[in-house]
Structure 1
């Protein structure tokens, strides 16, 4: 597979697992993006290379358009090929109610989860067009976009609702060019994001309430992402796939 897979937020969680499984699945060149966690990104890159693929470790602050632009300048130095984008970089802030949703907090969440994701997509589309070899995009949303996350992360949920809408609109815009755009909505997944949100016991409390009675894994999310990027999903665009155990 001579394409270039770009995974943002690949230092941990779904992004890291997707990069690793992508290498196992045949992607030979994988851009491992990270924001602050260089150690985590280096671990991901080492795992990618242990499977025979080439990892390109690139740091960028997705809240800063110039930083994203510099990242894509480095990607442009690679030999052209089809492009896959896993638009995954995102944050969650400590759980709280409406009283906690200060302008600074909400601005920060949207800067990463929405404005950063849109700019990464914009730069990716420009490169796909420049290279002329095709590509596909998978945005990472969340079941929070449907559930609302009352008294927990309403701002995070709202940001992922924006990603859902962005996915639909961008898919319509790019379909005539053969560029497919889809998303997944992970549900309760075994990652460190729950602890970062101040609820390390969240999975233990809520996983039994899902129809499948358990939390999901990052591997299950990665498999869905990589299928959507692959030619096996060649007639799939404008779709948002729930990876949520039926929740």
Structure 2
């Protein structure tokens, strides 16, 4: 059976690297993006140039109708979805609790938590043997921030990732007997488009690297390889797990 992998937030960072590497393993790839049109099409071009099959599909994880359409279009073009990586997420500017803005918090949780959960809903409706599917594998991209509350000013972001981990554990048990494996991966500090604004500052990058036991910032390809392992048959007895890909964690 040909595997079809849908990656939300697949135009950049960890999502894009996962898409490129998954394509070399024979997956047909659907790359979801919200605003990075040129980047998404560039990833598709990279994949097709090497003989792979990929499409780019716009859609906002804060919009339920977009999510429903995304899954329908993926299946219409590439066939049944067998794998899902929920990589879409936002990390707004750092803020202390007394400076929280309700609208910012609402969008943060809508994208990082509700959108992810709705994607899992759509995947389950298609993958579950209870619903006539043939099973599948899902990886939710969480964060080490969810384990310790994040670095200073990142408590709201950390809360969304804590929610992702809690949901992943419960969801995995719910669908384990229906052929679906669900795991989350918790990256530490990784250089991506989302983090480069902070990590390109030499002083910040040095301080962050010094707080990581392995003494360096991670790279997107290192996280992508871990995701692909969780999706693979080699991880067939693993579900409901949280894989820390963080260089040993961090000390705040």
What's the TM-score, normalizing by structure 1? Answer: 0.94
Asked if structure 2 preserves the Cα contact closer than 8 Å seen for 1:138 and 1:225, the reply is: yes
Instruction: Extract unaligned runs of 5+ from structure 2.
Output: none
What residue is the counterpart of 1:102 in the other structure? 101
- Name the SS for the 1:142 alignment partner: coil
What residue is the counterpart of 2:10 in the other structure? 10
The Cα of 1:75 is off from its aligned counterpart by 1.9
1:123-149 CA-to-partner distances (Å, cap 9, x unmatched) read: 111121356222100000000001212
Q: Which runs of 4+ in 1 moved over 4 A?
A: none
The Cα of 1:73 is off from its aligned counterpart by 1.6
What's the TM-score, normalizing by structure 2? Answer: 0.92
Cα separation, 2, equivalents of 1:245 and 1:151: 19
1:100-144 CA-to-partner distances (Å, cap 9, x unmatched) read: 221111111001100110011111111213562221000000000
The Cα of 1:35 is off from its aligned counterpart by 0.7
Cα separation, 2, equivalents of 1:159 and 1:80: 32
Shift of the 227–205 alpha-carbon distance from structure 1 to 2, 3 Å rule, reads same
The Cα of 1:199 is off from its aligned counterpart by 5.9
Residues 1:25 and 2:25 are matched in the alignment? yes
Shift of the 131–80 alpha-carbon distance from structure 1 to 2, 3 Å rule, reads farther
Shift of the 199–220 alpha-carbon distance from structure 1 to 2, 3 Å rule, reads closer
- Name the SS for the 1:62 alignment partner: coil
Shift of the 125–89 alpha-carbon distance from structure 1 to 2, 3 Å rule, reads same
Q: How does 1:213-232 map to 2 (within 5 A)?
A: 213-232=215-234
What residue is the counterpart of 2:61 in the other structure? 62
Asked if structure 2 preserves the Cα contact closer than 8 Å seen for 1:138 and 1:228, the reply is: yes
- Name the SS for the 1:157 alignment partner: helix
Shift of the 199–96 alpha-carbon distance from structure 1 to 2, 3 Å rule, reads farther
The Cα of 1:19 is off from its aligned counterpart by 0.1
Cα separation, 2, equivalents of 1:158 and 1:138: 19
- Name the SS for the 2:93 alignment partner: coil
Residues 1:169 and 2:170 are matched in the alignment? yes
Question: In the comparison of the two structures, how many residue pairs are matched?
Answer: 245
1:127-186 CA-to-partner distances (Å, cap 9, x unmatched) read: 213562221000000000012125321111000000000100000001011210001000
